[in-house]
């Protein structure tokens, strides 16, 4: 079967290996071309005879083709003419938009599953204690591992909520990992772990990134946002002084950057959204995270403001934030996205599992089998997730003219095997191992179940070594 990347893959793997061997010091602006060099070219290909879920007005099309060229979806339909495009066999495959992740502390993927069972080793304490010992290279290692896992799992967009920027080079190292991966991403600039609430984030550094963004993301795959601490901050004992949180949000809005803020947690959660609204700061450019404890009035305030919500049921359940309120948000017509949040708590970044727990939690709360249909959940992970991130016009569905972010799921896996309702299969049965192909902005980054542009062995080994060194440095168990 002819494939567009066969000739170049060996070369790409060599390039990736050479890049890994060249060292992983945070490169800053100079490293931009180095990372981009390791990515495959955007070719022209056509997937033939697949079951295509457009997640758009066209609905599902059986025995359909998807034609991609130069990073764009050229056409979706049956028996497409695609002269010159390499053919990819889509039989027994479901092709759908790439999964859109909407809030993930990617740096702490280096601390996978390290939230302990006792208060001394709980999520917030572990993150703060170990986070303060992170080097810039640890940021790179954690985020690069997260990027590899994302692509492997069929995630084509991530929202990298970076809340351990201890120095400008930490932000550079994190962005470098995103840029090299080929993912579509929003990088949201946040405070450092352990930073006192009386100190604001480095607004000059945020401005530096904004002003240099074209160099940091030459192909436009990355965007910049603010990971805002809100009014509560990291320390539950004290609030952030208004002059600091207003300066932070004001700087982001002056630069035209979207804002994301946690609105729930182990801290007193009720009234957080209300406080943001009362301060006149709630806006269409804002994403609220979790909101498990949002009151009916707060949900209405979010809807009226045109803001979005990101939920992460696995971490919310694991840490004890309570049950999600997905149905209530959807009834209020709030754009909702699904998120990984942190693999320190969830263990992995399996968006299929996140879809499944999202459906199951809502039906469990409502005590009916029929509250949240699988197809609705699939929309949260694709088209609506993209809309919640403000990129719905660009990606999130398969339609001519949109950027080519798509995945192909092999239904011949032993955990699938029969072809029933495709939305039900994806939400209840599919797992990352079934993801045969991942395309981001027209680049084939996973094919035949293997990553094409990342040396996974080198990435895993470097992350494992960084984790051991970090724990030693921090005198951590």
Rounded to 10 degrees, what is the CA torsion of 96, 59, 394, 324? -70
Give the shortest CB-105-to-Zn ion separation in angstroms: 6
Residue nearest to Zn ion (CB): 341
CB 398 within 8 A of CB 406: yes
CB of 193 to Zn ion, least distance (A): 13
3-state secondary structure at position 41: coil
CB of 290 to Zn ion, least distance (A): 7
Q: What is the DSSP track for 74-139?
A: EEEESS---TTPEEEE-TTEEEEEPEEB--B-GGGGGGTT---SSGGGSHHHHHHHHHTT--HHHH
User: Cβ distance 388 to 308 under 8 Å?
Assistant: yes
Nearest distance from C-beta of residue 307 to Zn ion, angstroms: 16
Minimum distance, C-beta of residue 210 to Zn ion, in the bound complex (Å): 23
Name which of 285 and 341 has its Cβ closer to Zn ion: 341
Q: Given the complex with Zn ion, which of 39 and 345 has the nearer CB atom?
A: 345
Burial class (CB in 10 A: 0-12, 13-18, 19+), 106: buried
Q: How far apart are CB 341 and Zn ion at their closest, in Å?
A: 5
C-beta closer to Zn ion: residue 341 or 441: 341
Go through the chain and tell me how many residues it has.
477
The nearer residue to Zn ion, 298 or 341, going by C-beta atoms, is 341
Alpha carbon of 16 to those of 19, 119, 140, 416, 459: distances in Å? Answer: 5, 41, 15, 33, 10
Nearer Cβ to Zn ion (341/436): 341
What element of type H or E holds 234? none
Query: Tokens for 315?
Result: 């971490």
Give the residues lining the site for Zn ion (CB under 5 A).
341
**4-26 b/e (C-beta count within 10 Å ≥ 16 → b):** bbeebbeebbebbeebbeeebeb
- What's the rounded Cα separation, in Å, for the pair 186 and 29? 18
* Nearest residue (CB) to Zn ion, 159 versus 166: 159
Q: What is the nearest approach in angstroms of Zn ion to the Cβ of residue 98? A: 22
**Choice between 172 and 341, CB closer to Zn ion:** 341
Kindly report the three-state secondary structure assignment for every residue of 47-68.
Answer: EEEEEEECCCCCCEEEEEEEEE
Give the nearer residue to Zn ion in terms of CB position, either 309 or 453: 309
Give the shortest CB-194-to-Zn ion separation in angstroms: 17
């Amino acid at each position: 079967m002819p494939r567009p990347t066969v000739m170049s893959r060996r070369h790409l793997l060599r390039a990736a290996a050479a890049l890994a061997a060249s060292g992983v010091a945070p490169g800053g602006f100079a490293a931009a071309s180095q990372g981009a060099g390791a990515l495959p070219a955007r070719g022209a290909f056509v997937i033939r005879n697949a079951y295509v879920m457009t997640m758009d007005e066209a609905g599902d099309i059986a025995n359909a083709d998807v034609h991609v060229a130069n990073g764009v979806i050229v056409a979706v339909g049956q028996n497409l003419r695609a002269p010159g495009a390499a053919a990819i066999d889509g039989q027994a495959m479901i092709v759908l938009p790439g999964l859109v992740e909407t809030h993930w502390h990617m740096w702490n993927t280096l601390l996978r599953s390290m939230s302990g069972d006792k208060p001394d080793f709980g999520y917030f304490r572990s993150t703060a204690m170990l986070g303060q010992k992170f080097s810039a290279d640890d940021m790179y290692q954690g985020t690069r591992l997260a990027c590899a896992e994302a692509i492997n799992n069929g995630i084509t967009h991530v929202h990298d909520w970076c809340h351990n920027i201890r120095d400008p080079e930490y932000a550079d190292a994190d962005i470098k990992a995103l840029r090299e991966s080929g993912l579509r991403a929003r990088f949201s600039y946040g405070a450092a772990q352990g930073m006192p609430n009386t100190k604001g984030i480095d607004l000059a550094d945020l401005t530096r990134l904004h002003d240099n963004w074209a160099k940091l993301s030459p192909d436009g795959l990355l965007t910049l946002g603010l990971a805002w601490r809100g009014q509560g901050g990291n320390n539950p004992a004290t609030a952030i002084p208004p002059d600091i949180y207003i300066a932070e949000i004001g700087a982001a809005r002056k630069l035209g950057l979207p804002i994301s803020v946690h609105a729930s947690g182990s801290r007193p959660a009720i009234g957080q959204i209300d406080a943001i609204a009362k301060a006149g700061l709630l806006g269409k450019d804002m994403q609220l995270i979790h909101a498990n404890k949002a009151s009916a009035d707060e949900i209405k305030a979010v809807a009226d403001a045109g803001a979005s919500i990101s939920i992460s049921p696995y971490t919310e359940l694991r840490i004890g934030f309570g049950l999600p309120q997905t149905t209530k948000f959807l009834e209020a017509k709030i754009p909702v996205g699904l998120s990984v949040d942190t693999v320190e708590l969830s263990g992995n970044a399996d968006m299929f599992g996140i879809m499944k727990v999202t459906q199951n939690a809502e039906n469990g709360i409502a005590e009916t089998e029929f509250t949240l249909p699988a197809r609705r959940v699939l929309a949260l992970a694709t088209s609506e997730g993209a809309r919640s991130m403000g990129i719905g016009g660009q990606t999130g569905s398969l339609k001519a003219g949109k950027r080519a972010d798509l995945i192909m799921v092999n239904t011949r896996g032993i955990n699938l095997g029969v072809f029933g309702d495709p939305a039900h299969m994806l939400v209840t049965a599919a797992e990352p191992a079934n993801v045969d192909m991942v395309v981001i902005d027209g680049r084939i980054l996973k094919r035949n179940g293997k990553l094409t542009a990342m040396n996974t062995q080198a990435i895993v080994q470097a992350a494992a070594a960084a984790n051991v060194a970090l724990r030693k440095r921090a005198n951590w168990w």
